[in-house]
Structure 1
Amino acid sequence: MRLTEFWSRMEARFGTAYARSVAADYRLTALGATVDEALARGDEAKVVWRAVCAELDVPGHLR
């Protein structure tokens, strides 16, 4: 998954402004980091997205 697709899905789920807030502030248990921290340290976008889906009730059509 490319970062552009990742951010498109985040924005589809949370809205444009809130997606960035979630990425900066919500610590994902599975990753031990926020979305921003995980991506910055080099975690694959697909892995981060799966963690978001598991913890934040993402609808099936966005998975």
Structure 2
Amino acid sequence: MSQADSRVQLALIIMYLIGIICLIVTFFFLRKVNGRSWTKFSIGLMVVIMIMAVILNTVFNLS
């Protein structure tokens, strides 16, 4: 069971890092295209990353 928990934690960390990388790329791309960093898409992506941070925090505190 411990090995499965560590795999889930690793998967969540990888998903979180992918989300942060996507957010950074989105900010640079949107700034280049229309001069604004914050659009509905980037705000939605930021909300998803915040939710993932809460999930990661909960998973690590339960361990």
Which structure carries more relative contact order (alpha carbon 8 Å, separation 6+)? 2
Task: Please give the range of the TM-score, normalised by the shorter of the 2 chains.
Answer: 0.3 to 0.5
More helix as a share of residues:
2
Higher radius of gyration, 1 or 2: 2
TM-score, normalised on structure 1?
0.33
TM-score, normalised to structure 2, is 0.33
